[in-house]
């Protein structure tokens, strides 16, 4: 009855909202590593989370923000940004690229560490989610899509400080400071800290982030931008990787730095970038008995990129190259090293008025494999100012991680005979965008070959004594449908309630296996079949802002759960916001990944002060 009441309440508010008047949203340029495109003229399905939406969301981490995005499957093993695997449209976390300002955060050890991002929410300008193959735009391992996190770096002085407290002895805070040195050189520093005793046995955590960025305008055409950040995570890992050892514990430390030089003048744009990432990981099967089983890993990644575009009467031409070296030193995986090279070329052109085309190819070489080519084509047609259709087709590729090839422990085996995954992606969509109302319908198809998953023999014994082993389980066809509706509103209801925005989305995925899996599956069969997400923001008396978020997930394992979160902000005092967040309002019992029981109802209270 509780679910039915809340659903009808949400429906009534939605009906009232649709009778109000919409607001308008400014243009956003999607920052691909290659040819950038305006959000209003897409050639593939893209979602954008703005800084304003981040501030209103009932979330404490990037992972939690992404749970409200259509088509994105966030499988958290712990709250507060401890660890999460991000999938897109049924794809696994190893098939999704995570980037920070265009810098790839892929880890050669395992994709579990890709969300070790040293940036607090307050320092993020927006998050771009590219669904479908991103190989041609960003490189290998983007079979299912890519998520690019864009940070803030303003030329005006800004400062903010926030803190919160919550159940289970949980507290934390974050700060953001922008301090220009001159009209040519500006910088910011941001950081956050979260700590908790945990909501169940061995679920305590401590997460810290610190990030520094700066930009130098050398001339009107030449700019230099750099960053260095560090994040540390120390957490009880009960059920993270196996249910046989509830005392698992892990600590990760990640250092990330990058330096980019851009030249932009007239019709020419050039960018060079260098980056370095180091991740240290210590894992114990028994937290208080390191001698029983402890692994220590250190991965180092060094990359260089160059890309440029030139605008002519024939359209926009893009060319570029990249080199990436990955090294790993591990007590379990040994000493490993591999090098990746990539080159790309693409061209965007308006064929006739309203019809845009983008054709390109990415060629890559890993030190363990020969050169491979990944072409793609995108088309978009502007039927009218408010109606647009688009379609695209592309190929993608993923190389196994060192964990899949070599990792061994009492609950897991490895497989050095794994071969890379390959996939083709096709997509067709329609967009209606007028007066602040944006509706999008999209059909997508992904055909994955040599798909990798961890499997094990089934057993009636609990916990299952059989080991997880990575295998190329075969070929899988994913067919899906995505429907989304976004509406910005400014007209008040009942003279004191203003509905600022509302969003609805539905995703369906049909996964067809060419051969049936007779074993337990760790990842593939845990993908969602149905996903429904709804959200709205209301303002009461121009002083109290309330955001409600709801999501329903049904997975192929027949696991299903319905969650509702909320955030209330009191902004009646200048430069001070007082907020309360309420996650899992309906107090559902659910598991997103592994064997980790996620927390029930959880309340957080805090404030944000703007110091400038």
Interior angle at CA 200, CA 196 and CA 201, nearest 5: 100
Domain boundaries of the chain, sorted by first residue: 2-610
Q: What is the mean pLDDT of residues 173-180?
A: 94
pLDDT tens readout for residues 56-114: 999 999 999 999 999 999 999 888 889 999 999 999 889 999 999 999 998 999 988 99
Average pLDDT in the chain: 89
Q: What confidence tens digit (pLDDT) does each residue in 417-446 have?
A: 999 999 999 999 999 999 889 999 999 999
In percent, the amount of the chain with pLDDT more than 70 equals 93
Q: Which residue did the predictor score with more confidence, 491 or 528? A: 528
Give the pLDDT band of residue 472 (cuts 50, 70, 90): very high
- Rounded to whole angstroms, how far apart are CA atoms 254 and 207? 12
- First-last CA distance in the chain: 48
What integer pLDDT is reported at residue 33 of this predicted model?
63
**How many whole angstroms separate alpha carbon 95 and alpha carbon 401?**
11
Averaged over 212-230, what is the pLDDT? 96
DSSP conformational letter for 391: E
Whole-structure pTM value: 0.92
pLDDT given for residue 491 in this prediction: 61
The pLDDT of residue 334 = 94
Q: Quick check: 415 pLDDT over 60?
A: yes
pLDDT of residue 4: 42
pLDDT at 258: 97
Q: What is the mean pLDDT of residues 22-46?
A: 67
The beta-strand segments (E) located in 218-314 are 222-236, 249-265, 268-284, 294-312
**What is d(CA 489, CA 502) in angstroms, rounded to the nearest whole number?**
8
pLDDT (0 to 100) of residue 266: 92
Two tokens at 119?
A: 């940036």
Contact 113, 401 (CB under 8 A): no
- Tokens representing residue 201 in the block: 């046995």
Question: Is the pLDDT score of 515 beyond 80?
Answer: no
Please give the pLDDT value at position 32: 59
State yes or no: pLDDT of 242 exceeds 90: no
Say if residue 281's pLDDT is above 80. Answer: yes
Q: Which of 201-215, 450-464, 486-500, 502-516 has the highest mean pLDDT?
A: 201-215
Residue 2 confidence class, pLDDT cut points 50, 70, 90? very low
Is pLDDT above 60 for 227?
yes
C-alpha closest to that of 186 among 225, 150, 128, 221: 225
pLDDT tens profile 130-163? 998 888 888 878 899 999 999 998 878 899 999 9
Q: What is the pLDDT of residue 6?
A: 42
For 257-266, write each residue's pLDDT tens digit. Answer: 999 999 999 9
Rounded CA gap, 256 and 263, in Å? 24
What is the per-residue DSSP string for 465-483? Answer: -SPBEEEEEEEEEEEEEEE
Task: For residues 601 and 597, give the distance between their C-alpha atoms in angstroms, rounded to a whole number.
Answer: 13
What was the pLDDT predicted at 16?
35
Residue pLDDT, tens place only, 287-300: 999 999 999 999 99
CB of 272 closer than 8 Å to CB of 299? no
**Looking at residue 29, what is its pLDDT?**
67
Average pLDDT over residues 310-318: 93
pLDDT of 31 reads 61
For residue 363, how many other CB atoms are within 10 A of its CB? 15
DSSP 579-601: EEEEESTT----BSSTT-BPP-S
Q: What is the dihedral of CA 84, 88, 89, 95, to 10 degrees?
A: -100
Judge whether residue 354 has pLDDT over 70: yes
In eight-state DSSP terms, residue 114 is: T
Smallest Cα–Cα separation from 113: which of 293, 292, 282?
Answer: 282
How confident is the model at residue 459, as a pLDDT? 86
Mean pLDDT of 173-183: 92
According to DSSP, the residues that pair with 197 across neighbouring strands are none
How confident is the model over 252-261, as a mean pLDDT? 97
**Which CATH code fits 2-610?**
2.40.170.20
Query: pLDDT at position 524, please?
Result: 78
Coil, strand or helix at 422: strand
Q: Across-strand partners of 336?
A: 328
């Amino acid at each position: 009855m509780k679910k039915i009441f809340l659903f009808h309440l949400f429906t009534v508010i939605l009906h009232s909202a649709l009778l109000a008047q919409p607001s308008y949203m400014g243009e956003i340029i999607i920052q691909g590593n290659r040819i950038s495109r305006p959000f209003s003229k897409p050639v593939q399905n893209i979602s954008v989370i703005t800084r304003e939406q981040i501030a209103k969301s009932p979330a404490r981490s990037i992972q939690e923000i992404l749970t409200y995005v259509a088509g994105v499957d966030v499988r958290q093993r712990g709250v507060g940004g401890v660890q999460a695997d991000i999938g897109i449209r049924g794809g696994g976390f190893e098939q999704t690229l995570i980037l920070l300002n265009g810098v790839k955060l892929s880890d050669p050890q395992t994709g579990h560490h890709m969300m070790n991002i040293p940036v607090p929410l307050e320092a993020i300008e927006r998050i771009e989610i590219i669904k479908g193959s991103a190989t041609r735009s960003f490189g290998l391992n983007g079979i299912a899509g890519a998520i690019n996190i864009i940070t803030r770096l303003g030329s005006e002085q800004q400062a903010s400080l926030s803190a919160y407290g919550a159940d289970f002895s949980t507290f934390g805070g974050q700060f953001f400071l922008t301090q220009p040195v001159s009209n040519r050189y500006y910088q910011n520093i941001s950081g956050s800290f979260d700590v908790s005793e945990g909501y169940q046995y061995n679920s305590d955590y401590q997460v810290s982030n610190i990030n520094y960025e700066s930009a130098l305008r050398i001339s009107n055409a030449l700019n230099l931008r750099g960053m260095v950040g560090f994040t540390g995570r120390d957490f009880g890992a009960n059920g993270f990787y196996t249910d046989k050892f509830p005392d698992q514990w892990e600590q990760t430390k990640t250092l990330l730095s990058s330096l980019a030089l851009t030249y932009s003048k007239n019709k020419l744009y050039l960018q060079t970038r260098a980056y370095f990432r180091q991740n240290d990981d210590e894992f114990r099967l028994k937290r208080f008995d390191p001698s029983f089983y402890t692994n220590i890993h250190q991965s180092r990644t060094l990359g260089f990129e160059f890309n440029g575009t030139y605008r002519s009467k024939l359209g926009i031409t893009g060319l570029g190259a990249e080199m990436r070296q990955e090294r790993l030193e591990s007590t379990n995986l040994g000493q490993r090293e591999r090098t990746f090279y990539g080159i790309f070329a693409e061209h965007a052109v308006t064929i006739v008025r309203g019809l845009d085309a983008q054709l390109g190819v990415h060629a890559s070489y890993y030190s363990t494999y020969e050169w491979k080519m990944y072409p793609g084509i995108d088309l978009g047609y502007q039927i009218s100012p408010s109606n647009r259709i688009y379609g695209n087709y592309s190929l993608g590729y993923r190389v196994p991680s060192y964990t899949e090839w070599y990792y061994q422990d009492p609950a897991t085996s490895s497989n050095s005979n794994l071969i890379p995954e390959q996939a083709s992606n096709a997509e067709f969509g329609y967009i209606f965008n007028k007066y602040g109302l944006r509706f999008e319908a999209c059909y997508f198809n992904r055909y994955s070959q040599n798909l990798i998953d961890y499997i094990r023999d089934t057993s009636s014994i609990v916990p299952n004594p059989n080991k997880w082993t990575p295998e190329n389980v075969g070929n899988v066809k994913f067919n899906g449908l995505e429907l989304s509706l976004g509406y910005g509103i400014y007209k008040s209801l009942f003279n004191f309630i203003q509905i600022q925005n509302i969003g609805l989305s539905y995703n369906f995925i049909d996964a067809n296996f060419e051969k049936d899996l007779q074993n337990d599956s760790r990842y593939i069969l845990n993908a969602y079949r149905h996903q429904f997400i709804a959200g709205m923001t209301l303002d009461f008396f121009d002083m109290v802002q309330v955001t409600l978020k709801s999501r329903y997930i049904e997975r192929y394992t027949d696991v299903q759960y319905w969650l509702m979160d909320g955030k209330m902000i009191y902004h009646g005092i200048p430069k001070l916001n007082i907020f309360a967040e309420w996650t899992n309002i309906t107090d559902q019992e659910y598991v997103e990944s592994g064997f980790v029981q996620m927390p029930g109802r959880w309340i957080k209270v805090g404030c944000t002060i703007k110091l400038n």
